[in-house]
Structure 1
Amino acid sequence: MHRKALDELAHRAEGRGGVLGVVVQSANGEYASVNADRAFTAASLIKLPVMLALLDGVEAGRWSLDDRLPVRDRVGGAGILRDLADVADLSVRDLVTLMIVISDNTAANLLIDRIGAPAVADWCGRHGLRATVLERRMMDAEARARGAENRTSPADMAKLLDGLVRGTLLGPAMTAFALDVLARQQVRDRLPRYLPAGLRIAHKTGELDGLRHDVGIIFTNAPIIVAALTENADEADDLIAESARRAVQSQPLFRSL
C-alpha cells in the first residue's frame, strides 16, 4: 500500500482540525503509515492490552479463565452488565468476551481490578508499547477530571496485533482464544464496512466524544493489520473504513474493491 493513499485520507481528516493516524502492514512486508507515533486517547482500545496481559497471566498460572468474579460496581457506557442486576458472578472467560465483543465497561473494570494496572504496564513495557498507558478504569469521571487518561498510538496497536497474529505474544491456545473473541466484535461500521461479506476480521473499536478508532487483523491471503485512530475528524467512520478498503485493495485478489 502506498503512503500517498493514507496521506490523502489524513488530509481529509484535517479539514476541521481533525487527525487521522493509521498503520497498515501485511505479512508479506508491505507497510505504510501516517501519524503512526502520535499518542491518542485510547478509549476502549485500552481493552486490548488488558486482555493480552490477562491471557499472559493465565499462561503463567497466575489466574485462570475459569475463575469466577463477583459482578459489582456496575458502570455506564458500553455494555450490558449494568442492566443485568441478577447476574451475581461470571467467569473470567465470559468477562473477556463481554469486554471485547460488546466492549462492556463493567467487565473491563472487573478484569483490570483482577490483574492490576501494574500488570498491564509491565506487559506493555515488555512488548515495546511505549505510547500505551492505562491510567484509569472505564467511566471514571473523577480520574479524567484529574487528567488521568488511557492512551495509545497506531504504531503500538499495530505492533500488538502483529505479535498476536504471528503467535509471538501468547501460546497457541491463548492466541486462538484472543483471535476468536476479536473476530466476534459486534461493531461493524468502521474497518469492515467496505470489505467483502465473509472476509474474516478480528478487531476492536473504541470511541468517546470526538474519538473514533478501530484496529484489527484482516485475514486475506496474507493477513493485513490496520490500526486507524481519529480525533475530531469529520466522517471518521468512513475514513477508517476507507483505510481498510485501500489496504485490502493492495492484495491482488481484491483490487476490484
Structure 2
Amino acid sequence: MEQQTPPQPRHRPRIHEGGRWTRRPARARRLILATGAAVLVITVGAALHAGAQAGSAASPARPTARTQSTATSQPTAAAAAKRGVVPPAATPTAATPTAVATPQATPPVGIDATAAPSGDINAALDNEINSILNANSQYQIGVALVSLSGGAGQDMVHQYGVTDPFEAASTAKVLAAAAYYHLVETGGASLDDPMGSFTAGFQIQEMVQDSDNDSWSLVMDAIGHQELSDYAGSIGVTYSPESNTLTPAAMASVLSQLYTGQLLNPADTAELVSYMQDTNYETLIPAAVPPGVTVYHKYGLLDGELHDAGILTKGDNSYALVIYTKSEDLSDLQERTDVIHQLTQAVVNRLF
C-alpha cells in the first residue's frame, strides 16, 4: 500500500451529508461512468479483434502460453494484509533485456529525437533503456515491456535492470480487482454486494482510481487471501497478499492479460481499465506521454518504492510498460520521477 500522496485536483461529484463532504453513492457514480465504459468496451473489442487477425496471419510458432512469473514471496510472522512486508533488497542484474539479444553499443543517455518510431521493441530501444538505467545505477530499477498489438511478439516480456521481486505497493491492486471481477463472473460474488459502507463495485473503483487502502483491505478480505494467491497462480503469477511482492515482468503479465481480454469478459475488462484513468496520482507515466497516446495505469508509492504500471495505446499499437524503482526513502522522489519520465519517453518515441 502506498503512503499518503500529495493532494491533486479531482473532478469527482460530491454531495454534502451530515456536515461533511462525501462521494456520491456507488449507483450514481457507476451511471456516470457507464458511457465511458461503453466506449472502452468498443475500443477493447476492436483491439481484441485486431489481435486475433494478426495472430491468424502470424507464424504457427507464435507463443500462446501466458508468461510465467519468477516472482517469489517472502512472508514473515509480522506481515499484515493491509501492508506488505518489505522484501530483502532486490539484487541488481545487468541492464540487459532477457527477450532480445544483448546490444553491442550504448548510446548516450537521452532521447534521439531524430529516430523514427519503428513500432517494434528492437535493439535501438533496448540500448536507450539500458543507457538510462546505467546512468541511474544508484537506484534499483526494473523495467518490463510487452507488445499487446498481436503478432509474433505478443506475450513476450522484455525485461531490463532488476528482475527480482519488488514490494509491489499499490500496483497489486489491479490484481485484486481482477480477482474480484473473476469471482463475480463465476457466480461467487456480485458488484452490488454490500462491502463496508458501500458496494463491492464502489470499493473496487476507490481501490484502483483513488488507491484507497481501506477499500483494498475490504476487497482482499472478500476474496480471501489464499483464494487471491490461487487466482494469481491460475494466470501464471506468483503472489501472496502477506508479502505483496511482484516482479516487473509479473505485473506486466497481469496488465497484458487484462487488456487483451484473457482475464475477464469485455464489459468487466472495460470497466476495470476505465478506473485506471483520472487517478489520484498522474505525475508518473501519464505525465511523460504526448497528446494522442492514451494511458491506463496504477502507481505504487510506499517507503522507498516508487512504481508505475501502465498500458499505453495509440491507434493499433498498445504496450504494457512497468517501471519499478527502489531507494532508501522518498527523499529522491523527484529524481526518480524524472527517471520514470525518461524511460517512458524512450518507449513512446520509439514505438508510437
**Aligned to 2:161, which of 22, 30, 35?**
35
TM-score normalised according to structure 1 size: 0.80
Deviations 1:158-196 (A, max 9, x none): 101111111011111111111111123231111011212
Q: 1:25 Cα deviation (Å)?
A: 2.1
Distance (Å, rounded) in 1 between the aligned partners of 2:187 and 2:244: 27
**Aligned to 1:127, which of 227, 235, 239?**
235
Which runs of structure 2 are paired with 1:120-159 in the superposition (5 Å)? 120-130=228-238, 132-135=239-242, 149-159=243-253
Q: 1:214 Cα deviation (Å)?
A: 0.2
Q: 1:197 Cα deviation (Å)?
A: 3.6
Q: In the alignment, what sits opposite 2:193? A: 67
Deviating beyond 3 angstroms after TM superposition, the runs of 4 or more aligned structure 1 residues are none
Q: Within the alignment, does 1:161 sit opposite 2:287 as a pair?
A: no
Q: 1:58 to 1:36 in 2, by over 3 A?
A: farther
Whether the 8 Å CA contact 2:140–2:162 is kept in 1: the answer is no
Q: In the alignment, what sits opposite 1:225? A: 320
Q: Percent identity?
A: 29
Question: Which has the larger share of helix?
Answer: 1
Deviations 1:185-234 (A, max 9, x none): 23111101121245321100001111100001011220111000001185
**Aligned to 1:101, which of 199, 209, 223?**
209
Over alpha carbons, which structure has the higher Rg? 2
Distance (Å, rounded) in 1 between the aligned partners of 2:300 and 2:164: 16
Whether the 8 Å CA contact 1:183–1:200 is kept in 2: the answer is no
Q: Within the alignment, does 1:7 sit opposite 2:130 as a pair?
A: yes
Distance (Å, rounded) in 1 between the aligned partners of 2:194 and 2:135: 47
> Counterpart amino acid of 1:250?
R
CA RMSD of aligned residues (A): 1.7
Deviations 1:46-103 (A, max 9, x none): 2111111111101001001111122xxxxxxxxxxxxxxxxxx111111011101110
Deviations 1:142-173 (A, max 9, x none): xxxxxxx3101110011011111110111111
Q: 1:169 to 1:58 in 2, by over 3 A?
A: same
Distance (Å, rounded) in 2 between the aligned partners of 1:172 and 1:154: 25
Q: 1:36 Cα deviation (Å)?
A: 5.9
Whether the 8 Å CA contact 1:100–1:181 is kept in 2: the answer is yes
> Counterpart amino acid of 1:173?
A
> Counterpart amino acid of 1:241?
H
Distance (Å, rounded) in 2 between the aligned partners of 1:118 and 1:212: 27
Q: Within the alignment, does 1:243 sit opposite 2:343 as a pair?
A: yes
**Aligned to 1:182, which of 269, 276, 280?**
276
Whether the 8 Å CA contact 1:224–1:247 is kept in 2: the answer is no
Distance (Å, rounded) in 1 between the aligned partners of 2:145 and 2:343: 8
**Aligned to 1:19, which of 140, 164, 186?**
140
Describe the SS at the equivalent of 2:164: coil
Describe the SS at the equivalent of 2:348: helix
TM-score normalised according to structure 2 size: 0.59
Whether the 8 Å CA contact 2:141–2:162 is kept in 1: the answer is no
Describe the SS at the equivalent of 1:250: helix
Q: 1:247 Cα deviation (Å)?
A: 1.1
Runs (5+) with no aligned partner, structure 2: 1-120
Distance (Å, rounded) in 1 between the aligned partners of 2:209 and 2:305: 19
Distance (Å, rounded) in 1 between the aligned partners of 2:163 and 2:263: 21
